[in-house]
Structure 1
């Protein structure tokens, strides 16, 4: 079976604060030109996308330099719900969720797909207030050689639209990103439709071949045996 886990690319879709707006508009039309083409303007981290190491590391590999086979994952679904807004996901909480699930992290899993429940808030300001991985949780993944997929803007906190929700002890910068990307471990962001997936599945998230790209939108597709 197959399931699309990616957000549609469309004008006005949510983007990370400060990133370029997305527009998808007609260029040529059947009525005027006899054929149709469109103009797409987007940032490299719009919608469902992968991060290349260059995203946070000045000397990191670019998306076009990564072997395309690295974007076909043996994925393990980790249900972390329920979570509060901006709740830190600790190494202990991640470990517990993995061990309580139907299959543990083993040698053939290379991506943990973390279901936080925040996909339901897509299109609202509250989507910014997603839970996030602590640096220690990212390090827990690193020691097991697994990357992360998440149904939110990313594994680090996102600036909030409601100042009162931001906690004083939230980390600065991108510590979780840095742990993964410093170790060439994948990050897939803004996944959706995770409900009902099996514990183990294949995830395909191939990026565009952007020259010197720091990331790229993807069509993220899950595959499993019925």
Structure 2
């Protein structure tokens, strides 16, 4: 069984505040040109995507520094679907299993395209540190493992992308804006190959695979 875990890239889709907007429009039309080509404008962290250390670290590795094998993961899914708006995911939620990546399933992907999507659950700095210590890459079906600044931000929210710095500083990759995690069991294989941009991040076609 294979499950598509990626959001479709389309005009006007949700992006992190301040990131480039997304536009997909016809460049050549079949009726006029006898073929079709689309013009696509987007940022490197559009939709379902993977972060490289160079995203937040001055001398961090870029995606082209990793072998393709690094983008196939033995995944463990953590059920955080009871989380509410801007609720922290804590150390107690972090598994202690043999796995390559911890996927925090908040079900926030059902809010994709809404303003509320930006007020997602997030990892506390301590939870991110434990993930790094246990060697986990991190994935989440939300905009970021860090809280996203909105009008609902609170003074107690962690600032400065602490989860990003902790995880990427330990060379543990981050995958954001996953979806359909509820269609998979708690253990499965995740494949998330980035576009060959070679830089700070790139959209991925993330797929969950379960052997039956």
TM-score bracket relative to the smaller structure: over 0.9
Instruction: Give the TM-score, by structure 2 length.
Output: 0.97
Report the equivalent of 1:157: 147
In the TM superposition, what whole-angstrom CA distance separates every residue of 1:61-120 from its partner, at most 9, and x where no partner exists?
A: 11122222111111011101211211111112x14xx3xxxxx512xx100111012111
Aligned partners of 2:182, 2:60: CA distance in 1, in Å? 34
After TM superposition, list the pairs within 5 Å mapping 1:204-219 onto structure 2. Answer: 204-211=191-198, 213-219=199-205
CA distance in 2, matches of 1:12, 1:56: 25
Match of 2:207 in 1: 221
**1:187 is matched with which residue?**
174
The whole-number CA distance in structure 1 between the counterparts of 2:66 and 2:80 is 30
Q: Provide structure 1 residue ranges, at least 5 long, that are not aligned to the other structure.
A: 99-103
CA distance in 2, matches of 1:221, 1:124: 24
Residue 126 (structure 1) aligns with: 116
For 2:153 and 2:6, the matched residues in 1 are separated by 28
Number of aligned residue pairs = 212
**4+ runs of 1 displaced by more than 2 Å?**
none
Greater strand share, structure number: 2
Asked if 1:47 is matched to 2:47, the reply is yes
The unaligned stretches of length 5 or more in structure 2 are: none
TM-score by length of 1: 0.91
Query: What is the aligned counterpart of 2:160 among 173, 176, 182?
Result: 173
Alpha-carbon distance between aligned partners in 1 of 2:180 and 2:173, rounded to the nearest angstrom? 20
Cα distance in 2, alignment partners of residues 6 and 29 from structure 1: 27
What whole-Å deviation, never above 9, does each CA across 1:176-219 have from its counterpart, x for those lacking one? 001110111111000001113111111111111114x1100010
Asked if 1 retains the 8 angstrom alpha-carbon contact of 2:55 and 2:200, the reply is yes
Correspondence for 2:13: 13
Match of 1:112 among 102, 106, 111: 102
Question: Aligned-residue CA RMSD in angstroms?
Answer: 1.1
Distance 2:119 2:50 in 1: 20
1:86 maps to 86
